[in-house]
Structure 1
């Protein structure tokens, strides 16, 4: 945890039960994998908050309803809601979401990461930073930032 927390006592919600998913067995090894909202949520739900020992799902930073998928257009939009309007970690959280999807999704997908409208004081600046390829690439050249992202993406021992 980070000292001097902006939201020292966040509200923690119960995790949703995981739903069983079945892959279609069409026997075609070259079939294009179809992605849906639940699959994206499953990739993101266990990301740890950079300041707290809770997942983004437990803090309701990420919800299944805030994910849009257009599989035909290879497009995914994830809208997240920081726990406070002045969250200093909003960009790091968005970067974690982007990196997780970069590592999980086929390369054909364009990913758009957004702060929920009205949920952050610098919403436009955060959105611009999270969706600019050069800024994301520069951020991922910073070893300290990459370590922080990797820590948030590391599987939980619990």
Structure 2
């Protein structure tokens, strides 16, 4: 985790109940059941904050209501809210959401759009541009120290 915390005492919220997972089922024509908002939320809710041992759900950086899922058009938009408007790690949070967790869990036909909630960060436009530029994302993930930080945020937590 990142040292020198900017937000040393964030508000921690209780996690919500999980939906019972079922194995993907296929119709007669081998088309998988649609992906919905809850399923996407279940994939990202346990990502740990880079600065705290808490999940993005516990810190309310992500909420189910801030997800837009359009299965018919293969589109997912995740809007996240950093804990502070001058948070030092929104790009890292976005990388965890976009490049690793969602790319590993959603079918490749999906376009994923990651955004900082409007007005929630001083560098909102810059962060949004970085997180939705494929070349910038690929370049970021080639940096070993950054990839190590992403892996740390994605590691299972017990507690």
TM-score, normalised with respect to structure 2:
0.94
| Post-superposition CA distance 1:29-61 (Å, at most 9, x none) | 822342100000000000000000000000000
The match for 2:62 is 62
Shift in Å, 1:23: 5.4
CA distance in 1, matches of 2:96, 2:133: 15
Q: Are the counterparts in 1 of residues 27 and 33 from structure 2 also a CA contact under 8 Å?
A: no
RMSD: 1.5
Three-state SS of the structure 2 residue aligned to 1:146 is helix
Task: Give the direction of change, closer, same or farther, for the CA distance of 1:29–1:87 in structure 2 (3 Å limit).
Answer: same
Q: Which residue is equivalent to 1:76?
A: 76
Q: 1:19: Cα distance to partner? A: 2.1
Give the number of equivalent residue pairs.
158
Q: CA deviation at 1:156?
A: 1.0
CA distance 1:145–1:25, change in 2 (3 Å): closer
Following superposition of structure 1 onto structure 2, how do residues 1-158 of structure 1 map, counting pairs within 5 Å?
A: 1-22=1-22, 25=25, 28=28, 30-98=30-98, 99-158=100-159
Q: How high is the TM-score relative to the length of structure 1?
A: 0.94
Structure 1, 27-36 or 102-111: larger mean CA deviation: 27-36
Aligned partners of 2:74, 2:156: CA distance in 1, in Å?
A: 27
Q: C-alpha offsets along residues 39-87 of structure 1, whole Å, 9 cap, x if unaligned?
A: 0000000000000000000000000000000100000000000000000
| CA distance in 2 between partners of 1:100 and 1:55 (Å) | 14
Q: Which ranges in structure 2 are unaligned for 5 or more consecutive residues?
A: none
Mapped partners of 1:26, 1:141: distance in 2: 36
How big is each residue's C-alpha offset from its partner over 1:78-118, in whole Å with a ceiling of 9 and x where there is no partner?
Answer: 00000000001000001000020001100000000000000
Stretches of structure 1 that go unaligned for 5 or more consecutive residues are none
**In structure 1, the residue corresponding to 2:113 is in which secondary structure?**
strand
